[in-house]
Structure 1
Amino acid sequence: GKTGLGLVADGMTELDGMVGQLLKKLDDLGIADNTIIVWTTDNGAEAFSWPDGGTTPFRGEKNTNWEGGYRVPCVMRWPGVIKPGTEINHVTSHEDFVPTLVAAAGDATVTEKLLTGYQAAGKTFKVHLDGYDQRDLLSGAGPGKRHEYFYWTDDGNLAGLRYERWKLVFMEQRAEGLDVWQDPLVTLRFPKLFDLRADPFERADREAGDYARWRVEHAFALLPAQAFVGKHLMTYREFPPRQKPGSFSLDQVLEKLHQPVSGSK
């Protein structure tokens, strides 16, 4: 390969060149100063497939409940709004892109409109959008609006919650490597607690000798978490899930086989 560091490094080098081509094209078209660019990825590194997959300093990887499965890079260029060199260390989510970018395009009330029915492209969209308009955060005009993040799994289970600096783990993946795709997450009777500002790599429960005492003494963090989860779950009354999540499980395959087959002409 070009880098001598494996498939991922070569792929990143190729991507870097593609980004350069895109930026040059925007300059050539004369629209660079009126274009928002977002560079990010969909999930954490798939570390088990290294060196063909990525790596991460955070615990876990893709398809786990740990930070290594959810934290992703995000680089943005927004001329006139985001100052070059800005670094933001605040809780955000990809769910914030829709309200933020639609607001940038002229409609700052899309989240509210979606609750009652939003007309676009000849269709009506009525959904609950778990996103926030983060223009103030990006521009430096004010704080971020998101204080919570829900760790949903690909099976549709709530594995954890982060609010501010605290992370509660309701389900944990104890397997490693390829086994994270084989073994189920374990539901905990008493949530694990992490202070992600002091322990961003979630090592305390495995390596700190006094974690058990610290965990009990900080059980007060569970109370605000109940309010965040309760408020979130209330939205499912009017906006229940529209489809089941994908699964590799045999139970779901058998369920599909037992469903009646509709005729077609």
Structure 2
Amino acid sequence: MMADDIGYENLSCYGSKVYQTPNIDRLAASGIRFNHAHSQPICTPSRVQIMTGIYNNRNYIKFGLLDPQAVTFGNVLRDAGYQTAIAGKWQLQGGFEGVANFGFDRHCLWQLTRRPSRYPNPGLEIDGEEKDFKNGEFGPDLISDYVCRYIDEKKDDDAPFLVYYPMLLPHWPFVPTPDHPDWDPEMWKDAINEPGGYKSQKYWDAFVRYTDKMVGKVIDQLESTGQRENTLIIWTGDNGTYTDIVSDFNGRPYRGGKGSPKDNGTHVGFIASWPAVIQPGQVSDALVDFSDVFPTLTDAAGVKAPDGLNGVSLMPVFKGSADDRDKGAIYCWYERDGVRDKASQHARDQQYKLYATGKFFDTVADPEEKADLATGGIPEELKAVHAKLKAALDPQVAITEAADPIQSAKRGSPEKKKKKDATKKSKPEAK
């Protein structure tokens, strides 16, 4: 499950006193909450990275597009015998035709390029059929209903399943939710396209609460169908909160940073729960970025991951052996429209961040990155961490500066393999 545009500062399990997220909190209490998880600064880069397990400098093309040759976790798990579904927001490949190509047999999706409403009286595509709802329905309810029906269908099925749930909420437009006194079931009933605007903070709290409600709905369905014990649930957000949202957090105003490579644009909640494997009530300081999701899923399923992924499986952390996981830094390449010579690049650990420009920051003491620690030379006590981050950053910068990796892949570079050769089937182990 991946919520849309929500930083960690909105979650009560991460310390928010303004917003209450009891279902996300109970997910965290039942498993492991990660303190140092970072997305990409905006949605498409995050979605490309989470689905492919590869850093964006190697396979990102432009906003709203996933390379048609990309191998996703959906492809690998489906090839290994998993039944697969995707439900929520789809803004990749310019249409719904790519969903099956990327490994998903079933779908219930809202499409950015079609642009009907996603919230009141929405337009969705459900298993290949476009449907416009005009009787006061709410998009997130319809999509979560689809997820819950799919889970129910699988309760007596021996085949394992994967559901990828990129949630609609809480991305703007911020409008009243069905449980809010201002809810209007007639809103946008006659609209062909989703109206612009609606970005004020008035209904943000309602959106956070409804996001949490949808999470609880899925957890409850897994529990009621007897599948919770052996189901791995991962919950996160695709990037920081929208920039018009300012919340009190840790005693200061905290503005959303969507679109920025600073902490408020990338620091997201990341929670994993799997009662059969993960001990409850854990908090981890392990580094996590979205490239780690793909190898984690294949590792959990007992399936061989493709070669060349940048991610590192979180299974050792899940099993209480964090020291066996080798990830001392994470890397970010960010340029919304894929313009390579304008991309921002950095490597970071839990505290320090080094940009390819040479700027160096303590993100704990200086989250707004105003004091460059490299000014006047690297302090002696920071030379070791600077060297570590530089060692992680330099090889990625070299890849970025090389010939366009997308074109290299299409010419047959070994960096990309054809889907039919990318996986080796193994016996599935987990739902």
Task: Report the TM range for the smaller structure's normalisation.
Answer: 0.5 to 0.7
Instruction: Tell me how far apart the structure 2 counterparts of residues 61 and 76 of structure 1 sit (CA, whole Å).
Output: 24
Residue 229 of structure 1 corresponds to 393
Alignment RMSD? 3.5
Render the CA deviation track for 1:131-187: whole Å, top value 9, x for unaligned: 0111111221232432111122134424311146431133xxxxxxxxxxxxxxxxx
Deviation at 1:63, TM superposition (A): 1.2
The structure 1 residue matched to 2:362, chosen from 195, 203, 210, is: 195
Letter in 1 for 2:319: S
Aligned pairs for 1:1-265 (under 5 A) are 2=180, 6-47=202-243, 49-50=244-245, 61-107=257-303, 109-110=304-305, 114-115=306-307, 128-143=308-323, 144-155=325-336, 156=338, 157-163=343-349, 165-170=351-356, 188=357, 191-196=358-363, 198-199=364-365, 201-202=367-368, 205=371, 212=375, 215-217=378-380, 218=382, 221-233=385-397, 240-241=405-406
Gaps spanning 5+ residues in structure 2: where?
1-175, 183-200, 409-431
What TM-score, normalized to structure 1? 0.63
Contact 1:150 1:158 (C-alpha < 8 Å) held by counterparts: no
Instruction: Tell me how far apart the structure 1 counterparts of residues 322 and 348 of structure 2 sit (CA, whole Å).
Output: 21
Instruction: Tell me how far apart the structure 2 counterparts of residues 214 and 58 of structure 1 sit (CA, whole Å).
Output: 31
Instruction: Tell me how far apart the structure 1 counterparts of residues 301 and 378 of structure 2 sit (CA, whole Å).
Output: 45
Deviation at 1:62, TM superposition (A): 1.3
Contact 1:35 1:78 (C-alpha < 8 Å) held by counterparts: yes
Render the CA deviation track for 1:87-116: whole Å, top value 9, x for unaligned: 111211111111011111112x41xxx23x
Letter in 2 for 1:50: I
Q: 1:241 to 1:162 in 2, by over 3 A?
A: farther
What TM-score, normalized to structure 2? 0.41
Identity of aligned residues (%): 24
- Point out the structure with the larger helix share: 1
Q: 1:216 to 1:238 in 2, by over 3 A?
A: same
Instruction: Tell me how far apart the structure 1 counterparts of residues 278 and 207 of structure 2 sit (CA, whole Å).
Output: 28
Q: 1:3 to 1:42 in 2, by over 3 A?
A: farther
Contact 2:359 2:374 (C-alpha < 8 Å) held by counterparts: no
Q: 1:84 to 1:239 in 2, by over 3 A?
A: farther
Secondary structure, aligned partner of 1:15: helix
Deviation at 1:213, TM superposition (A): 5.6
Contact 1:100 1:132 (C-alpha < 8 Å) held by counterparts: yes
Secondary structure, aligned partner of 1:147: coil
Letter in 1 for 2:387: L
Higher relative contact order (CA 8 A, sep 6+): 2
Deviation at 1:130, TM superposition (A): 1.2
Contact 2:346 2:393 (C-alpha < 8 Å) held by counterparts: no
Secondary structure, aligned partner of 1:92: strand
Paired positions, count:
201
Instruction: Tell me how far apart the structure 1 counterparts of residues 298 and 371 of structure 2 sit (CA, whole Å).
Output: 41
Instruction: Tell me how far apart the structure 2 counterparts of residues 11 and 3 of structure 1 sit (CA, whole Å).
Output: 13
